[in-house]
Structure 1
Amino acid sequence: MSRRVVVALLGPVTWSPPGIDPARWRTALAEDVVDLLATLNEVETAVAVTAGDRWLADAVVWPGTQVYEVPEPTPNAVFAALAGKASGQELAATTGEAAVTGDRAVRYDQVAVVVADAPDLPGLTLGKLLRPLTTRPVAVAPVEGSGTGLLGVAARLPVPAWLPALDLDTTEPAEVRRAAPSPGDVAVTAGWHRMRGPADLAALDPAVEGWEATRALLSGRPV
């Protein structure tokens, strides 16, 4: 069986609801996504952050969660770290205790990188992002609603050489498909909304279970 990992990329969050501290908003979103990953079956989970955002990872990860420090908040940087290609001799992955060297780093066959501003993301949507990797090297999930970008991207490791530089805030599925030798090499899976503006906030469904930290912050309860 392929060894798979889903990584929450705790990248910048550029919008927060009026009256809510941006750092608290970002933390609540990240906490809900990390909590979702903890419920997934048959995959391992991790988070990735730049060194300057390590505080955020420390605030939201579960004990024993692997944290990858990457030079930039992009899927490509995460792929490189997971493939053992990070610069220097030490792979920047920690479990809160000690660094993991390249020789002892966990080797994965498949990896999915997802945004950390989709607090009510269904686990089924993440499963759909990974499923095409049995027959295709790359899969992408688009953003629903307003704005450009991706919800997440999944790939077999090592990633194909043709994979372009990806920005989860701006890259569109069509760009990734154009870069592939054949458009069919890239599967486009189910999308979901991200919290990047008032219209996205309105898409949150109070009847859906989960997203407790975001729900509490929006309701004025402490998180």
Structure 2
Amino acid sequence: MTEENTAGDIPTERQTPVGEPVIRGDPSLTGERAREAVQFDPDDEKSLDRAAHAVARFAVQTAGDGDNLVMLRGAAACAALVRGEGSYTAAAERAGPDVSVSFVRKWSRVHDLPRPVRAHVARGDIAPSAAKHIARVAGTDRFRIAWAVIDHEMTVRDVRTVVSEVDSGASVEEALANQGITLGELSVELPEEVYTELRRRVALSEEDPADVIAASLADRYSIE
């Protein structure tokens, strides 16, 4: 697993040290539970022992989606164990007979997702099992699918189907369209005065409101 991978200037993988509770330890995301956050250091043997125990427990407890933070902790333990042991196979062996290589691989990838996606997992906007499928794709496709999950309330089955189609060569746009979802479609609620003035101005200039909003956001966030 790499620490960082970018598409242009957008980080599409984890940028902070493996095992560090960046999301789990953030009170703004997890409230009082931030104090429960555990760090797994892949360079420390005692910490790896804790990670192996956590992965073994996680493998037995995981069935569908449970507590999002517990599952993020399990993903962190998987990733730290892989980094410390040097391979998915060695990590699974250290965790014990109930832990498969595929289990470790899948959840390690969740830990490697970029921070904005992991933050939404912590908030409960994206189910951990959906994140597991999102982590199968690379680059900005991760963001495109993640935001579609939030904006269109996609189920885990929907996400799995979209990712499978992308793996088979379809674009994210095509795969989402097959689910009746338009990539980039977002419903927003504007303050009454802003809405009224926007509509008045675009009527006079014969512009599309979506184009005006997109241009304004691109200018604000320096998106080319």
Q: TM-score, normalised on structure 1?
A: 0.29
Structure of larger gyration radius = 2
Would you tell me which structure has more strand in proportion to its own residues?
A: 1
Would you tell me which structure has more helix in proportion to its own residues?
A: 2
Higher relative contact order (CA 8 A, sep 6+): 1
Q: TM-score, normalised on structure 2?
A: 0.29
